Chain A
């Protein structure tokens, strides 16, 4: 899931300068789970906008705002309210914002910051486990990604900053390499320590990414 959070309200007000009528868009998937852009947040946003002399022409919570065609369909269904608006205020991740901007010539204002691809520990507690790098070595690292969990994305073991198994960049975190080493040891295998891992093929992370099955 994409983890997002609402932008600072002062920053948002700056983006809303000169825009008096707004159409609100939320997302029923990730932004709802993150409590950043679901039904509830759309209502709260409506209240906040009213308190700042803005009129809301309408709103929609799209099933998955990253779904480009679905966004097109939902916008068509709200055509009048969208046309009345000076801008669309979009409470979705950056992917959703771009589905919207691809489907309207109106000004699209993003209300969230997209943070990372997150795993859910419990509601409200998210952890970044995967960086979508396109060149996965999880099979050699006992299922713990060093690209994501090591502050320096090292591939051959811990840096000199490891102290008592803690990370140099954040002493509250375990060194990812310690976790990898301990789990490999428990599994009785050498894994990534059996070879020198050569430089990473960042070319496998195509940007911009496109994929057809």
Chain B
């Protein structure tokens, strides 16, 4: 059992962070970032061609992190691989000792760095959860027996601030039914929206790790509002950043407040610090 899933199951408040594989072959930066993470971080998400931009496969970085004693959460999207490739990668992940998974549809390639790529989406995120369930039960999606079954802790992404809420929540329920053992949220800024989401999600019995994104300045906040679906940075936060003498310091303050919100409502917090991993300790204290 992974530390991450053990702590979640034990009702402990978990902290996760996020690292992107390099666009290239040099791993020192990513590994350095991982090594510098404070002890409170129990597991690290490794992103999969994030925002549809091609990078090193996360499987390699996740395996290397594990070797260094950093527990990975392998992100896996349906965009780039069909069901055979996804299952093959899942078995490879298991062989490399990777247990935690975050299973996603994936951003459309239209806005990434390979807009001419043919997107796959042979499975959707719910069906990928089903594939993981099947493998854990010792069968592949074709119903054929595996020589031995992998052990995973599969999770799924949710967007608490998405509208219409009822439509978004239909899919959340399907993800729970398909075996999601935890939810990680898109970056949330509104406590009200989070509270409404938690009220609905609680009966499903799936722990929720709230996404907290470190806002570095007002420009970044406006960019998120314009370009990142499901993320809504309220105008009062943008104003605070715009007026601050040291915007990054203000961003850390805001993130600290959001971590406090997560502690009130959720079972954990997922920190997206985008290269400012050195500020994580400050955000958590």
Contact = CB atoms under 8 A, between A and B. Distances in A.
Contacts of B166: 181
A153 B186 CA distance: 22
A196 B126 contact: yes
Interface in A138-183: 151-165, 168-170, 177-178, 181
B122 A158 contact: no
B174 A160 contact: no
B229 A178 contact: no
A207 interface: no
Interface residues of B, number: 38
B124 A152 contact: yes
Contact of B126 (A153, A157, A161, A202): A157
A164 B159 CA distance: 12
Nearest to A166: B229
Given A157-B167, A163-B229, A169 B108 contact: yes
A144 B221 CA distance: 36
B50 to A, nearest CB: 13
Contacts of A154: 105, 121, 124
A190 to B, nearest CB: 9
A169 B110 contact: yes
Given A168-B108, A169-B110, A156 B167 contact: no
Contact of B171 (A158, A161, A164, A169): A158
Contacts, number: 97
Given A169-B108, A181-B170, A161 B229 contact: yes
A149 to B, nearest CB: 13
A162 B168 contact: yes
A199 interface: yes
Interface string A186-213: 0000000100111110100000000000
B253 interface: no
Nearest to A181: B167
Contacts of B167: 157-158, 162, 165, 177-178, 181
Nearest to B78: A152
B119 A196 contact: no
Contact of A156 (B106, B127, B159): B127
A159 B130 contact: no
B157 interface: yes
A143 to B, nearest CB: 17
B85 to A, nearest CB: 13
A152 B164 contact: no
Contacts of B230: 160-163
A196 B174 CA distance: 6
Nearest to B104: A160
A18 B119 CA distance: 38
B131 interface: yes
B164 A165 contact: yes
Interface in B148-172: 157-159, 162-164, 166-168, 170-171
A160 B168 CA distance: 8
A163 B166 CA distance: 13
A181 B165 CA distance: 12
B31 interface: no
B262 to A, nearest CB: 19
A196 B110 contact: no
Contact of A161 (B108, B119, B127): B108
22 contacts: A152-B78, A152-B79, A155-B127, A156-B174, A157-B168, A159-B125, A160-B162, A160-B229, A161-B107, A161-B230, A162-B162, A163-B162, A165-B164, A169-B110, A170-B110, A177-B167, A193-B174, A196-B127, A196-B174, A197-B126, A198-B127, A200-B122
